Amino acid sequence: MGFLRNLTISQQIGLLFVVLFGLLLLVTVIAFSRTLLDRSDAEMTAHEQFKRDLRAVWIGAVLFWISWVAGGIVSTLLFGLVSFLALREFVTLTHTRRGDHRSLLLAFFIVLPLQYAIAASQRFDLFTVFIPVYVFLAIPVVSALGNDPQRFLERTAKIQWGIMVCVYGMSHAPALLLLELPDYRDRGAFLVLYLVVVVAIAQIGQEAASRRLRRRPVARAISRSFSWRAWGIGAAAGAVAGGLLYWSTPFKSPWGAVLMGLIAGGSGTLGEFVMHALKRDAGVRSWGGKASVTGAVGLLDRVAPLCFAAPVFFHSVRWYFGI
């Protein structure tokens, strides 16, 4: 660990590049060689699903690398675009009415760009309160001007919730990149990678655990696989991944990295659970990348854990360093 921590930035980045893309390449080759075998239909569907997930990981990794190489502004723009696409999907799933038109325009074309602009300018105090305070008050005003009292509170709440998850949550990822920590200049991207990896590992851990354990689900109507024990195992897997990545983090001790991994992994998998509830509410049955009529399934599933984990992680890091 000490050896890894003492490498220069460029050496660490080079190492990460080799490890990340080497692993991906290895998994892809194995997956490809397995397509040559004869298997049953159920296995084939599972395999198709896996291939879709793998493609998403590839796209994510390449985008991530581009944003890393291009620097803070480009990655802020990139996360902003993902935020836009996620919010588009969210709004498609919720039933908005005619009177919401102006509030939605406000959300898409004013709130979203402003939030990312504030993140890019590194004014983190304003960044933290802009959406929860100012936008929270502005949206119902614009909605009320839409002159439609029917289900007013419900509609306003949905829009606000969408902005909180898709814009506010997501914008904390580029903010991590731009956060200036002691003795950690130009390494913000490692922190984002740490977050992404920890959340992904926690998700995989929880998924595997719930398949093995077959515990009684906590909320059967929402998710058939979510149980507290599986959640705990997922968070623990995140903590282990966090500990292993200690060398790339600014935390003062390995235990700090483990604790942060636990927090990020635990909140990420809870985010996925909430997204299940949302999909059930919207009446979406197909799950995991299979397009519905409007094609509104896929991205939101994948970014939701990150949207939940990023703000929690971001503020934990700020408290940890007292900034």
99 vs 218: CA distance, rounded Å: 37
If you count DSSP H runs as helices and E runs as strands, how many of each does the chain have, helices first?
Answer: 14, 0
Of 95-103, 219-227, 254-262, 263-271: span binding other proteins (CB under 8 A): 95-103
Cα distances (angstroms) measured from residue 265 to each of 64, 233, 255: 19, 10, 15
89 binds other proteins (CB under 8 A): yes
Q: Are 173 and 306 in contact (CB under 8 A)?
A: yes
**Sign, CA torsion 121/124/127/130:** negative
**What is the smallest separation between the CB atom of 108 and other proteins, expressed in angstroms?**
6
Residue 292 lies near other proteins (rule: CB under 8 A): yes
CB < 8 Å & 24+ apart, contacts of 212-219 = 219/277
The one segment of 23-31, 86-94, 123-131, 218-226 that binds other proteins by CB under 8 A? 86-94
Segment interacting with other proteins, rule: CB under 8 A, options 15-23, 137-145, 205-213, 287-295 = 287-295
**Residue among 2, 8, 42, 98 that touches other proteins (CB under 8 A):** 98
Enter the tokens of residue 256: 């700090």
State the Cα angle at 52 between 48 and 53, rounded to 5°: 115
> What does the block give as tokens for 158?
């949905």
Report the residue number, 146 or 232, with the smaller CB distance to other proteins: 146
**150 counts as binding other proteins under rule CB under 8 A:** no
Q: Does 236 bind other proteins (CB under 8 A)?
A: no
Cβ-based nearer residue to other proteins, 88 or 215: 88
Residue 109 in contact with other proteins, rule: CB under 8 A = yes
Tell me: does residue 105 bind other proteins (CB under 8 A).
yes
**Residues contributing to the site for other proteins (CB under 8 A):** 84, 87-89, 91-92, 96, 98, 101, 104-105, 108-109, 291-296
